[in-house]
Amino acid sequence: MRRTLSLIVMLVLAGAVAGAQTVVTVAAGAVGQELELTRAAAERYMKLHPDVTVNVLETPDLSDNRLGLYLQMFEAKSSDVDVFQIDVIWPGDLAEHFVDLYDYGARDVAKEHFPAIIENNTVDGRLIGVPWFTDAGLLYYRTDLLEKYGFSGPPTTWAELTDMAKTIQDGERAAGNPDFWGFVWQGNSYEGLTCDALEWVASYGGGSIVSPDGTITINNDKAIAAIDEAASWVGTISPNGVTSFGEEEARNMWQAGNAAFMRNWPYAYSLGNADDSVIKGKFDVNPLPAGPGGKPAATLGGWQLAVSKYSKNPAAAADVALFLASYDEQKIRAVEGSLNPTIMALYQDPDVLAAVPFFGSLYDVFTNAVARPSTATAPDYAAVSRAFYSAVHSVLTGQATAADAVAEIEADVEDITGFPTGQP
Amino acid sequence: MQDAPEAPTPPAALPLDGEGGGGRGRPKKNGVSRLMRLERRTAYLLLLPTFLVLAVIAAYPFGQVVYSSLTDAKFASSQPTSFVGLDNYRTLFAMTIRRLPPKLDESGAPVLVDGKVRYESAVSVLPRSPRRYRQVFQFGLLGHRYVLGAVSADFVRAVWDTVVFTVVAVALETILGMIIALTLSSEFRGRGAMRAAMLVPWAVITVVSARIWEWMLQPTRAGLFNALGSYLGLSEGRTDFFGNPTLQLPSMIMMDVWKTTPFMALLLLAGLATIPAEYAEAAKVDGAGPLRRFFRITLPLLTPTLAVALIFRTLDSLRVFDIFQVVLGNQRYSMASFAQDMLISRRDMGLSSAASVTIFVIIFVFALLYVRSMKVDT
């Protein structure tokens, strides 16, 4: 009897203590080292604020699957998750589910971040997400292999890349590595393909699917040529399986030393230079190649932290979000994870530049990245993107010609948005 | 079934079914005695909690889905919803067949490439407004080429793929399950351990086993199948099981058969256990070979179990979602993963609900066909 009583008293006390704790749940990504970095940041926050418990919830790798998870929570108006890691393309579609961070003290920090990203995250004057890290597509290349086969530097056009990749691939296969491929990228039927394909199309001068002023520009010869060229890589310099590659599949092949070139986001840089990596010190990054007569293009990526409208502790959640996106935290993520900061001053920080030199040398790539037409097509960007990537995917798998696919995309986007068509 | 020997008639006890006056002497009302009506009422009362639970868990959500399929609701959005009637169903099922004219050059003669006539692309021929029709597939008939177009081409393809997947997978599972069940019903050493080990594929969570299969079927030599193929000289080790459209469904079928054959085997094993051994022995004495014994005695007696097992598996296969979603994602849809994609990428809850109701109707039709054809006593 006495044991039961003391047990009940202990449980009640535990409940009381837990009740005094504010619990903030952060839904964060787990691509590469993201999850470990976020958990470490949460630990640092909890040390500074002992009355707050920060739980980090792991979310799916593929952007579309993450969106599916989030939408389910919004439909149920669930208060399970307070802070969401949202993609740079989602503010327009999901604005109604997040609070205005300007109400929670973001006004002071907003000017530290890149104005373009803050503008991207502002819908109807409400700042719905604080920028956390930005992203742009980069070309990773093996410096040792380029030297071995007598190339003076990384390719500046897609044609050059194709030639170099073929030479290196043939050479490495003959030297006894039958699993070697020239170029790996993201070709699965998901948002990542929109990023890659937008880079090909924009670098040919073919526009960005829908122009910022709301004209559908995808149906042009340059876009067709760009997609045709990419389809020619599948099975020749890229594995047939590239049509089911996401970011991690491409990185796994690259990091095992089985690819000469890779298109991926900056996060793969620090992972490639980890102590247990086969390619440590043997690679570098460059802007992506350009099409004939075009300029190199990198798709703007990046993730923001948004506070849910249905959260029980929006003030605490906003505090956590602003902490995670603060100068010091972004510096740690830049140095340890090569995740691009969104705070402009960090690009002059000597520690950051020492750890990730290309943040300085490729600064222009990040500031001039091509944005996907999420703002122009809001709130239907997800449907527009789906129309684009499924059509491009059908060209990559050989089920449709690029000309047909591009006409389909134009018709589909017209259906979804009602925008007029035009030339880029 | 052979009739059991007649049971001895019970002694004349209380007239429970109202026949005859017996000791009570009370007349029966509507052919049903008071006691029987009491029993029936008690039965309904005892079943009432079950009906309530069913209503809440099954009937209410189903009713919600049917209602939302008649609206243009948007998922996770505060947009106002309006009633649109059967519009969503029209979107799902609107189909048309158009003839594809051959490509003509300036003089009006058909363009020949490698000796074959080239045809106009489907996009130019299919109607674009008020609704856009997309190509499902092209076919040739009587020297002309036609294209089947549908407003929801993905859905039409998904229905076809799911039905093909179901038919082939269930057939394979039944045959393999039968073989396994027959093997396990005979006595041999380690039979108990085999029966336990057999259930492992069924016990593993589908998402986990789908990921394992994804790893094994990787399109490079890092995957088991490609590694074996290249080691044995069968292939170059670059077969893309999930990207190559011809190999997608067979891969899915292989994964599903691996997972659910144990289930079929288990059900059929239970059915085999109910067949008295005397029949097989009698047939052996009469000189029937094993095949004859199987087809004339075992199979007919197994029909009720087989019917139940088939209904279970067919209904499950028609609803397949996890393996298509995890492995194929947006590359190829089953009916259920199409409904999910409509919900997430198009945020079209109305259309997604209509697709779900369609799945229900298709499953219902299949279930009815089974019950009728196998004369299952319901």
Same domain (yes/no): B136, B229: no
User: Does B3 fall in a domain?
Assistant: no
B122 lies in the same domain as B217: no
- The DSSP symbol for A346 reads G
Average pLDDT, chain B: 86
Q: Where do the domains of chain A lie? A: 2-136+300-367, 138-298+373-417
Q: Tell whether the model's pLDDT for residue B243 goes beyond 90.
A: no
Same domain, B112 and B159: no
Q: What is the pLDDT at residue A186?
A: 96
Q: Give a yes or no: residue B90 inside a domain.
A: no
Token pair of B215 as six digits? 């790893």
Which residues of A fall within a CB distance of 8 Å from B340? Answer: 68
Question: Would you place residue B179 in the very low, low, confident or very high pLDDT band (cuts 50, 70, 90)?
Answer: very high
**Residues B259 and B110 grouped into a single domain:** no
- Looking up tokens 């684009």, which residue turns up? A388
Q: Is A383 on the interface with B (CB under 8 A)?
A: yes
- pLDDT number for residue B290: 82
The three-state secondary structure class of A286 is strand
Q: Give the range with max mean pLDDT: B29-38, B87-96, B221-230.
A: B87-96
Domain boundary among B151, B166, B190: B151
Does some domain include residue B317? yes
Residue A254 has pLDDT above 80, yes or no: yes
Q: Helix, strand, or coil here: B146?
A: strand
Q: Does B77 touch chain A (CB under 8 A)?
A: yes
Residue B189 maps to which CATH number? 1.10.3720.10
Q: Kind and range of the H or E element at A88?
A: none
pLDDT of residue B21: 46
Interface test with A, best of B134, B157, B345 (most A CBs within 10 A): B345
φ/ψ region of B143 (left if φ > 0, alpha if ψ in -120 to 50, else beta) reads: left
| From B78, B220, B343, residue closest to A179, measured CB to CB | B220
Q: Which of B105, B128, B151 is the last residue of a domain?
A: B151
- What is the distance, to the nearest Å, from the Cα of residue B63 to the centroid of all Cα atoms in its chain? 22
Spatial contact of B349 and B74, defined as CB atoms under 8 Å apart:
yes
Angle at A28 between CA A24 and CA A30, to 5 degrees: 140
Q: At B338, is the pLDDT very low, low, confident or very high (cuts 50, 70, 90)?
A: very high
Angle at B84 between CA B78 and CA B89, to 5 degrees: 110
Report how many domains make up chain B.
Answer: 2
Residue B177 belongs to some domain of the structure: yes
Can you tell me the mean pLDDT for A294-316?
93
**Within chain A, what is the greatest distance between any pair of CA atoms?**
86
Please tell me the distance from the alpha carbon of residue B296 to that of residue B288, in angstroms, as a whole number. Answer: 10
Structural domain span for residue B114: 95-151
d(CA B298, CA A323): 71
Asked if A164 and A151 touch (Cβ cutoff 8 Å), the reply is: yes
Q: Which two tokens stand for residue B180?
A: 């396994």
> Helix, strand, or coil here: A141?
strand
**Alpha-carbon gap, residue B69 to B83, rounded angstroms:** 9
Looking at chain A, the whole-number percentage of residues with pLDDT higher than 90 is 75
- HEC secondary structure over B5-36: CCCCCCCCCCCCCCCCCCCCCCCCECCECHHH
Are B225 and B334 within one domain?
A: yes
Summarize the confidence of residues B34-54 as an average pLDDT: 92
Same domain, yes or no: B127 and B225? no
Residues B146 and B196 in one domain: no
The CA distance from B293 to the nearest CA of chain A, in Å, is 49
Q: Which of B133, B151, B169 is the last residue of a domain?
A: B151
Q: What percent of chain B has pLDDT over 90?
A: 46
Give the residue from A231, A160, A156 showing the smallest Cα distance to A193: A231
Average pLDDT score over residue span B238-264: 91
pLDDT at B20: 47
Are A54 and A42 spatial neighbours (Cβ–Cβ below 8 Å)?
yes
In this complex, is the C-beta atom of A189 within 8 Å of any C-beta atom belonging to chain B?
yes
Q: What is the DSSP code (8-state) at residue A243?
A: G
The pLDDT of residue B333: 94
Query: Chain A within 8 Å of B206 (Cβ-Cβ)?
Result: no
- Say yes or no: B304 contacts chain A, CB-CB below 8 A: no
Mutate one of A71, A191, A393, A395 to test the B interface: name it (highest B CB count within 10 A).
Answer: A71
Q: Which helix (H) or strand (E) holds A58?
A: strand A52-58
Least confident of A383-392, A393-402, B25-34, B83-92: B25-34
Q: Are B202 and B333 within one domain?
A: yes
Position A382 pLDDT exceeds 50? yes
Residues B292 and B326 in one domain: yes
Of the candidates B75, B76, B220, the beta carbon closest to that of A241 is on: B220
* pLDDT reported for residue B18: 46
Would the pLDDT of A20 be above 80?
no
Going by C-alpha positions, the residue among B271, B263, B254, B276 that lies closest to residue B195 is B263
**Residue B42 forms part of a structural domain:** no
How far apart CA B335 and CA B156 sit, in angstroms, is 9
Three-state SS at A120 = helix
Sign of CA dihedral A244, A250, A253, A258: positive
* DSSP symbols for A174-224: HTT-TT-EEEE---SSSHHHHHHHHHHHHHTT---SB-TTS-B---SHHHH
Which chain A residue lies closest to B342 (C-alpha atoms)? A383
Do A130 and A304 meet the contact criterion of CB atoms below 8 Å apart? yes
pLDDT confidence of residue B158: 95
Please report, for residues A254, A404, B2, B9, B15, the alpha-carbon distance to residue B6 in angstroms, rounded to integers and kept in the order given.
78, 76, 12, 9, 21
Q: pLDDT tens across A99-142, in order? A: 999 999 899 899 999 988 998 899 999 999 999 999 899 999 99
Q: Do B204 and B113 belong to one domain?
A: no
Band of the pLDDT at B15, cuts 50, 70, 90? Answer: very low
Same domain, B191 and B247: yes
Task: Please state which architecture CATH assigns to domain A138-298+373-417.
Answer: 3-Layer(aba) Sandwich (3.40)
Tell me the C-alpha distance between A338 and A353, whole Å.
10
A55: which 2 tokens?
């739980």
Q: Which helix (H) or strand (E) is A91 found in, with range?
A: helix A91-94
Write the pLDDT tens digit of every residue in A190-199: 999 999 999 9
Average pLDDT over residues B55-63: 92
**CATH 3.40.190.10 holds for A2-136+300-367:** yes
Together in a domain, B123 and B248: no
Considering only CB atoms, B344 lies closest to which of A71, A178, A244, namely: A71
pTM: 0.84
